Chains A and B, each alone.
Chain A
Amino acid sequence: METVQDEGGTWQPPREINIDPKQLVRLTGGVVVVVLLLIAAFSSWYTVEPEEKAVILRFGRHVATTDPGLHFKLPFGIDQAIKVPVTEVRKIEFGYGTQKAGVRTQYRDTTREDQATSLMLTGDLNIVDVTWVVQYQIADPDAFLFRMRNPEQAVQDLAETAMRSVVGDHTIDEVLRNRETIAGLMQKELQSGLNTYESGIEVLTVQLKDVTPPGPVKASFNEVNKAQQERSRLENEAMQEYNKVIPLARGEAKQRVAEAEGYELDRVNRAKGEVARFTELLAAYEESPEVTRKRMYLEAIEEVLPRVRRIIVAEEGGVLKLLPLDGPGTSGAGGAR
């Protein structure tokens, strides 16, 4: 640094300090030792939090993986501890993004990239819109650190590949209907891919969020649902009509048969009764046929004649003889009795 002459002239030459060189050497040596000791003290231990594991590198070589707690290591950066959060559950969202999680989770607007992620081809060459979320954690910290450079990018890429692969082997109707099956198959495929990479990542869940037909065709899919419901409705209405009529018809049929059975009872009983009466009469008749016959005849006449107004007697010669029966005392015939 160049000394600038100040015109104000306040500059003063530094005061000379007299120090014994021996003392200086001793002093600096002492300071260096203390500093080194301090550094050693502070760099020879580390703590591993409960949710972590630590991978220890000695001169870069992996020598140990330690569990939570207080641990010692070689100082001065000879041992290096890399902490890996193994129990932390991480997630990647596909085709959507949570902006603010909570009771009413807010999602950001769908971007072009979201659409590119979520639109995919089904096995019957239709397009379906699938959004999903993958949750995973680090199962093997050694592998996680040393086998792949960017294991989380692998989760991202493999998840997209696996989802397309699974959806590609199903029809659009199957994808829309069997979300759980799709998620299960996809998780299996994702995990097996991550295993071949030795990524040290374990997939915990794959959850399908929205599985819908793409925007422009949504309405027509709803139309199908509506039509399906209409089909059920028509069927139900017809069944209702059916049920209104058939039980009634069954009842009426039973009634008709019961009536016939009533007729049967009536007819047979009447026959039996009449026959019984006849049989008794016949018994009496057989005891004294002539008298009984006459009596019966007269009884019948007695019953019938009072109702008759007049009697016409048709003679052989064509002459009519009127037997007046109008009142008592006017009849010669009555007198004959």
Chain B
Amino acid sequence: MKIIGAAAAAVLAFLALVALAASMYTVREFELVVITQFGKPVGTAVTEPGLHFRTPFVQDVNRFDKRLQEWDGDANQIPTSDKRFIWVDTTARWRIVDPLLFLQTVRNEIGAQARLDDIIDSATRDQISAQNLVELVRNSNRVLDVPREETGEDDLSLSTQEVERVEVGRDEIARRILVAAVPLATEYGIELKDVRLKRINYREDVQRAVFERMVSERNRIAERYRSEGQGRRAEILGEREREQKRISSDAEREALEIMAGADAEAARIYADAYNADAEFYAFWRTLDTYRVVVGDNHTLVLSPDSELYRVLTGADGRSE
């Protein structure tokens, strides 16, 4: 009997332990819990982490992750308002803020993802098809506003590619998608933190056309560099010609001026001296001229009146 009593006590104790264990549950730091009884929610959601109790065996613990989690949509092919076909790949971050509502409307995360697919995709489609492509690519007009000199030498690509100004911009479009999607997500107990445009790429055939345009643009730039080079060359050679002429003609002018000055100076010196006795100078200079003019084996023609004749014939000597 004792044994039976002891065994019964042990069994009872064991059952009590099991019941206690079944009535306790923990809520971890990143969890939200909704208690359901036969599938029906009981009370409000448990948001406080730690040890909690419930009625064992009849109440279920439904755990939800309250951390931020990702939503990654499939890439969508959407035409922009300027009729460019692009693939748009969006990503979003969301979290469960009202687990009760969440449980009642979408049950679990798989259901939530599916609902978010609908909400975000359609908001994305609406916003993107209303915008031009540049609005999706750029955030600002920096590309247009920055002075070309600051970006380094020769930024030629912009000069050809017609790029419109951005009115809305990438971030603002993402924000508008978010604004459109947030109220819808709230209906499911979901807080949508953000929606981001992850990838925006041209459709394959458009991409080929863009590549072709890029190639022709580069060819044009290359051509421009070449002709610029030839232009510079011609310019430098012209400069060379001009400079050469300038240098040599300057020198010629200076030389002639110096020589003219020299001649004038010499003339002044001669004149100053010879003016002392012009007649004697003439005589003296004539004699020098004779020395120079009369060369070897010359024939001299004299007039009998000339002084030389008189000297030669002695007439002069006698008359003196």
Chain B, residue nearest A261 (CB):
B258
Q: Mark A277-314, 1 if CB is under 8 A from B, else 0.
A: 01101100110010001001111110110011111111
Could you tell me which residues of chain B, from 44 to 88, have a CB within 8 Å of some CB in chain A? 48-51, 65, 67-70, 72
CA distance A336 to B208 in the complex (A): 121
Known: A119-B201, A307-B295. A260 touches B255 (CB 8 A): yes
Q: Once the chains bind, are B290 and A62 in contact (CB under 8 Å)?
A: no
Q: CB-CB < 8 A to B225: which residues of A?
A: 224, 227-228, 230-231
Q: CB-CB < 8 A to B259: which residues of A?
A: 260, 263-264, 267
Query: Does any Cβ of B come within 8 Å of A188's Cβ?
Result: no
Interface size class of chain B, counting residues whose CB lies under 8 Å from the partner chain? 35 or more
Query: Does any Cβ of A come within 8 Å of B38's Cβ?
Result: no
Q: CB-CB < 8 A to A148: which residues of B?
A: 67-69, 93
Query: Does any Cβ of A come within 8 Å of B151's Cβ?
Result: yes
Q: CB-CB < 8 A to B91: which residues of A?
A: 157, 161
Query: Does any Cβ of B come within 8 Å of A272's Cβ?
Result: yes
Chain A, residue nearest B314 (CB):
A336
Chain B, residue nearest A331 (CB):
B312
Q: CB-CB < 8 A to B294: which residues of A?
A: 304, 307-308
Q: Once the chains bind, are B196 and A268 in contact (CB under 8 Å)?
A: no
Q: Once the chains bind, are A263 and B237 in contact (CB under 8 Å)?
A: no
CA distance A304 to B248 in the complex (A): 46
CA distance A21 to B3 in the complex (A): 7
Contact for B296 among A149, A307, A333, CB less than 8 A: A307
Known: A127-B211, A157-B91. A257 touches B302 (CB 8 A): no
Known: A58-B50, A311-B299. A25 touches B68 (CB 8 A): no
Chain A, residue nearest B75 (CB):
A116
Q: CB-CB < 8 A to B223: which residues of A?
A: 227
Query: Does any Cβ of B come within 8 Å of A186's Cβ?
Result: no
Q: Once the chains bind, are A197 and B137 in contact (CB under 8 Å)?
A: no
Number of A-B contacts (CB under 8 A): 346
Query: Does any Cβ of B come within 8 Å of A35's Cβ?
Result: no
Query: Does any Cβ of A come within 8 Å of B180's Cβ?
Result: no
Known: A125-B210, A307-B298, A311-B302. A246 touches B243 (CB 8 A): yes
Known: A147-B67, A150-B69, A242-B240. A308 touches B300 (CB 8 A): yes
Query: Does any Cβ of A come within 8 Å of B161's Cβ?
Result: yes
Chain A, residue nearest B196 (CB):
A161
Q: CB-CB < 8 A to B219: which residues of A?
A: 220, 223
Q: Once the chains bind, are B30 and A263 in contact (CB under 8 Å)?
A: no
Q: Once the chains bind, are A285 and B29 in contact (CB under 8 Å)?
A: no
Q: Once the chains bind, are A312 and B302 in contact (CB under 8 Å)?
A: yes
Q: CB-CB < 8 A to B208: which residues of A?
A: 216
Query: Does any Cβ of B come within 8 Å of A330's Cβ?
Result: no
Q: Once the chains bind, are A121 and B201 in contact (CB under 8 Å)?
A: yes
Q: Mark B252-292, 1 if CB is under 8 A from A, else 0.
A: 10111011011101110110111011001101100110110
Q: Once the chains bind, are A127 and B49 in contact (CB under 8 Å)?
A: no
Q: Mark B81-108, 1 if CB is under 8 A from A, else 0.
A: 0000000000101000000000000000
CA distance A239 to B287 in the complex (A): 61
The stretch that binds A, out of B114-122, B123-131, B184-192, B226-234, is: B226-234
Query: Does any Cβ of B come within 8 Å of A61's Cβ?
Result: yes
Chain A, residue nearest B223 (CB):
A227
Query: Does any Cβ of B come within 8 Å of A73's Cβ?
Result: no
Q: List 28 A-B contacts (CB under 8 A).
A: A58-B50, A59-B50, A123-B137, A127-B202, A127-B207, A148-B93, A157-B72, A164-B199, A173-B157, A174-B152, A217-B214, A224-B225, A226-B222, A227-B225, A227-B229, A231-B228, A234-B230, A246-B247, A250-B247, A256-B255, A275-B272, A275-B273, A293-B283, A297-B311, A300-B290, A304-B290, A308-B294, A311-B299
B interface residues with partner A (beta carbon < 8 Å) = 3, 6, 26-31, 48-51, 65, 67-70, 72, 91, 93, 133-134, 137-140, 142-143, 151-152, 154-158, 161, 163, 170-171, 193-194, 196-202, 207-208, 210-211, 214-215, 218-219, 221-226, 228-230, 232-237, 239-240, 243-244, 247-248, 250-252, 254-256, 258-259, 261-263, 265-267, 269-270, 272-274, 276-277, 280-281, 283-284, 287-288, 290-291, 294-304, 307-309, 311-314
Q: Which 5 A-B pairs have the closest CB atoms?
A: A253-B251, A231-B229, A260-B255, A264-B262, A60-B28
11 A-B pairs besides A169-B139, A275-B269 with CB distance below 8 A are A59-B26, A59-B51, A126-B210, A126-B214, A160-B198, A234-B230, A250-B247, A260-B255, A282-B277, A282-B280, A304-B291
